[in-house]
Structure 1
């Protein structure tokens, strides 16, 4: 029977927090980047689509390289095919960013609507265990999906850039809040 030492010297709880000024700087830079992104969400939507395309191409290349360390022909063939699919997907995203942004936005709308519906069902079935939070999250997901899908294809030109900008701003606000967390919480950890 294997036992594990729970009192290791380097756990997540023992990591030092970044200095105050780093948290503030990171928060302000992220908020500024979010505002910059929201300044031209159509261009940022296209840039996001191209970025996703490059990530898919790089992932596909690594998948193909990794296939050579796979045992057996079956696994090798599937990994190579998956890598080729990733690369082809990335090339399409990069070569046709406007159409790709429309398709990605449509898929995002479908995913938000379906996952929101599932979260609503989970919230109802787990109502006693604070399921109302899951229910509320599901309602927002369904509403976001409906907004994207009913406004499509126009939403395809701005949704990805808008979500990126909002995410950057909220992440920046999170870093600022982390920087100014109460001293009691810091000293008790």
Structure 2
């Protein structure tokens, strides 16, 4: 019996926990938004410190200076997000809306260049959805700031949880085998 089929229960439990967390995030999108913002802030803090420490491993001064600069920027972003979470929510919501718009535009460009018609339309539809999501977030701004990140987090948790549960059941039944 492979490790994958032995450990299906752990994956199943993690999937159930992810689904539960996704439901809780949907029930309290502002709380989930705040949690996502603080997670981003602490992540930037850790990344900034790690980059600054790593800068002293660089052999060239040019690389060291750029690494220190990027580390300081990440550190300052993290401090700003952690110290002022409500302003961070506003900033991250704008970034999320703009990210969806830019992503959608690039998907449309790629979609119109694809020759396979099934793939072409899938990419174009995905681009349109991304643009619409971006417009929805930005057109309802700042009202969307209190829920947008939380709802996105909830959808991600639900999606990951359902996928993990499906994979666990597949492992239990022997449908997924370990790579040799």
Q: TM-score, normalised by structure 1?
A: 0.84
Q: Is the 8 A contact 2:5 2:177 kept in 1?
A: no
Q: Tell me which of the two structures has the higher relative contact order, counting C-alpha pairs closer than 8 angstroms and 6 or more residues apart.
A: 2
Q: Does 1:34 align with 2:13?
A: no
After TM superposition, where is structure 1 displaced by more than 2 Å over at least 4 residues in a row? Answer: 14-24, 179-189
* 1:64-103 correspondence to structure 2 within 5 Å: 64-103=52-91
Please list the CA deviations of residues 20-61 of structure 1 after superposition, one character each: whole Å capped at 9, or x if unmatched: 322322221111111111221112211211111111111111
Q: 2:120 aligns with which of 131, 153, 156?
A: 131
1:1-189 equivalence runs, <5 A: 16-17=4-5, 19-128=7-116, 130-181=119-170, 183=173, 185-186=175-176
Between Structure 1 and Structure 2, how many residues are aligned? Answer: 176
Distance 2:177 2:96 in 1: 42
Q: Give a deviation string over 1:113-170, Cα, whole Å, max 9, x none.
A: 1111110121121042622221121111111111111111111111111111111111
1:61-93 superposed Cα distances (whole Å, 9 cap, x missing partner) = 111111111112222122111111111111110
Question: What RMSD in Å do the two structures reach over aligned CA positions?
Answer: 2.1
Structure 1: state its 5+ residue gaps: 1-13
Q: Unaligned regions of 5+ residues in structure 2, if any?
A: none
